[in-house]
Amino acid sequence: MTQYKEFGFFDKCWGVLVGLGVIGKAFITTPPPKTLQQRLAMLPTDKLTLGSPVDIYWNHHQVPFVNAQSKTDLAQTLGLIHGHLRLAQIEIMRYLGTGRISELIGPLGAEIDRSLRLLDIAKAVPEMIATMDSETREWTDNFLTGLNTAICHCPELPHECKVLGIQPKPWTMEDLMTFARINSADISWLVWLKLLKARRSMSTKDWRALWPTLVNADSPSAYAAQGRFSAEHVLALQTRSGSNSSGISGQRTESGYAAIVSDPHLPIAAPSPCLFIGAQAPGMHLVGAMMPGIPFFLLGRNQHIAWGATNLHAQSSDLFDVSGFTDEQIEEEWQTIQPRWSRPRKIKLRRTALGPMVSDGKLMRCDQAVSMRWQGHKASNEIGALLTIASAKSWDEFHDALTPFGVAGLNMIAVGGDGQRAGHCLAGHLPKRPNQAPEDVILPSSAAENWQDMANTKDMPVRVDTEQGFVVSANQRPENSDFPVGYFFSPFDRSERLTALYQQDRKLTFADFRNSQLDVLMPSALPLCQLFLCSIKDKQYPANLQSMIFLLQEWDGGYQAERVEPLAFELLLCEVVKQLQLMKTAKHYQTIWMAYSRLLDDLQEVATERLANAVIKGLKKLSKQLTHHSNWGDIHRLRFDHMFAHLPFIGRRYRFADVPASGGANTVNKTGHPLVSKKHKVSFGSCIRHISDMSDEDSNYFVMIGGQDGWIGSDNFADQVELWQAGQYIQLPMKLDTVKRLFTHKTVLLARE
């Protein structure tokens, strides 16, 4: 039986008081502004245990290129740079990864801590450390040395540390590996937490009718990642639940060389989720993007190949009903939570042979006892796999390197090598489940036998040297798999649109790649729009309604910020759904990212006259709404907000950009949103762009929403937002002569005598 229990009334009241104290501290603690020169001066230059001096070249966006004489020195320098640029971000994530949020925000964080600790994120960490190969261990140890140097010799604490009372301490290998594990959280968890809530609130009959519609639809959405400062918000921030990545072979490009075009999708928040870095040392020469505190390049290029990744939407977890388990089959452990400015609390964590009993916490609360099996509870070597990729020279080396990669499952794209090839493979360790869809989100315990036979990247589909000359990954369902990789995938909108953009009767250029990343056409919206128009055809309406009908009739599905048509369609869709009392159903569809296609199916079943009445009422309301808003960008807003933006009274201080956003839920330039009835923030979407042309080592271009520096008030905290809006990029060259010309600020790290 589940033992979920809320913390008491006194805890909540005291938590509110502690929260007010945190707000007060934020109010009186003003983030000190820093110029680029001041920030670079804060970098300790003589504290590392380097074998030789290291040169760091910086451009005016504070993007570094590191030139080191050994991999050991390079790894230390990268760790130092991570700590310098993103100390507060990675410190806060250390607390998240270990379930210690209440130590920062007080008793109100205790429930987050319990839910996170129930996931048992760090279970495999001791075995991962014990089985780590010597090369990976040496690299990671040296990265830690650099990170801890930044922590121990930080001349001034970041604003967040002052407000939250964080006194940074040196990281251990256990800390780093736990941090890496929470960044491998299963995307299924975000779907489950919404679906389990729906399952609890519905009758058994209604749930059994809804579940087959959801599990056979295809994928999780921005709605699944919504939430304020809660356990689900924590998981959303650390789950790469979207992304586009395309590899174009040399046969399809004007240069005759392959190209990579990638744009990861994540919750949009400050600081930005990645760092751009160039690095050179004997045996390693590359540029790319790293996640703060993680010692590998998630995407980028070396002299031979370029690579990108998207979330596979693999289901590397299962929920099992353990209601029938006896006391002897259940282990118990008591842990202590120490909330800020409050007394310690004891929490009980239970587990069975099938995994931790996640139903004991709020995050995955159920009406029955449920254990979760996750592949991340077993040892794997993601750091080693990505380090090997960083120096791979061919498609075969790239593919082979991914064998030890376990979680979270990724689509991996690589281009280049001999023949300038383009290929796509799946990376992850997954159970070979039966091909039929599960009968429920919670499985009988007997289904655990499906985990006896595991697959790795060598057992999963590969696409390389395709006839069309390119590969596209946009979280769509994989083709030709012998077993279910997962059950919730993105609709084919983005992959089909990218395919259409690359299927030109001419060779492709950099301009084509740039335009593909900026593309905001969503053809899947048009069938819904036409359904509404057909329901009211051959009727006469007042001029104000007729003008809106004509507007929608001429719409091509484009979601440009300056256009009125997407505004009119989205507001009308929301009102029609409300009129037909389908809002709850629509939220379930949004959870699996299939709102447009599933709503189309449902609305086609509505009687024509009833649908027409709903559309007419929607048009009448729309005519009033359009007097307040003139285009899509008026209500569809790209906001670059810090986590402190959720604080009452002072939150606006931590909003660093609020600009019109082009795009929509399923456009290539994704800007996710729920059903729209008013001004709203883009909750999730494209936040990093990368293009590399393999014809030139210097032809590498990156940009992010936000900035390179995590220091609030820095010149480089949000300086790339304007570039992002304009569709511009930052060049990150590989040739040292070009680096010295473009990256005009230099830091020299001294060797220890």
Q: What is the pLDDT of residues 504-518, one digit of tens each?
A: 999 999 999 999 999
Highest mean pLDDT among 111-120, 146-155, 239-248, 541-550: 146-155
Instruction: Give the CA distances from residue 41 to residues 49, 154, 292, 747, in Å, rounded to whole numbers and listed in that order.
Output: 19, 11, 21, 9
Query: With 60 as the cut, is the pLDDT of residue 243 above it?
Result: yes
Mean pLDDT in residue range 30-36? 91
| CB atoms inside a 10 Å sphere around CB 653 | 16
Is 243 annotated in the active site? yes
Instruction: Give the CA distances from residue 164 to residues 82, 159, 601, in Å, rounded to whole numbers and listed in that order.
Output: 20, 9, 49
Beta strand ranges found along 366-501 (DSSP E): 370-374, 410-416, 421-427, 430-431, 442-444, 454-455, 462-464, 470-473
pTM given for the model: 0.94
Query: With 70 as the cut, is the pLDDT of residue 115 above it?
Result: yes
Cα 139 to Cα 391: distance, rounded to the nearest angstrom: 14
The three-class DSSP label of residue 166 is coil
DSSP state of 15: H
Which residues on neighbouring strands pair with residue 423, listed in sequence order? 414, 464
Cα 123 to Cα 699: distance, rounded to the nearest angstrom: 42
Higher pLDDT, 732 or 24: 732
pLDDT in tens, 724-744: 999 999 999 999 999 999 999
pLDDT in tens, 45-66: 999 999 999 999 999 999 999 9
DSSP state of 83: H
| Confidence at residue 4, expressed as pLDDT on a 0 to 100 scale | 52
**Widest CA span of the chain, in angstroms?**
87
Confidence of residue 699 (pLDDT cuts 50, 70, 90): very high
Mean pLDDT in residue range 112-131? 94
Query: With 60 as the cut, is the pLDDT of residue 137 above it?
Result: yes
| Confidence at residue 474, expressed as pLDDT on a 0 to 100 scale | 97
Query: With 90 as the cut, is the pLDDT of residue 140 above it?
Result: yes
318 is in an annotated binding site: yes
> Token pair of 421, please?
């090839």
Domain residue ranges of the chain, discontinuous segments joined by +: 525-556+564-630
| Confidence at residue 226, expressed as pLDDT on a 0 to 100 scale | 46
Scored b (16 or more CB within 10 A) or e, 535-559 reads bbeeeeeeeebeebbebbeebebbb
Q: Mean pLDDT over all residues of the chain?
A: 92
| Confidence at residue 109, expressed as pLDDT on a 0 to 100 scale | 87
Catalytic residue chosen out of the listed positions 102, 241, 243, 699: 243
| Confidence at residue 228, expressed as pLDDT on a 0 to 100 scale | 42
| Confidence at residue 10, expressed as pLDDT on a 0 to 100 scale | 64
Residue appearing with tokens 């670079």: 40
The burial of 737, by beta-carbon neighbours within 10 Å (0-12 exposed, 13-18 middle, 19 or more buried), is given as exposed
Scored b (16 or more CB within 10 A) or e, 224-236 reads bbbbeebbbbbbb
pLDDT in tens, 311-368: 999 999 999 999 999 999 999 999 999 998 888 989 999 999 999 999 999 889 998 9
| Confidence at residue 30, expressed as pLDDT on a 0 to 100 scale | 84
Scored b (16 or more CB within 10 A) or e, 436-467 reads eebeebbbebebbebbeeebbbeebeebbeee
pLDDT in tens, 307-322: 999 999 999 999 999 9
Cα 560 to Cα 631: distance, rounded to the nearest angstrom: 9
Residue appearing with tokens 């010149």: 715
Cα 438 to Cα 211: distance, rounded to the nearest angstrom: 9
* DSSP codes of every residue in 373-411: EEGGGS---HHHHHHHHHT--SHHHHHHHTTT--SS-EE
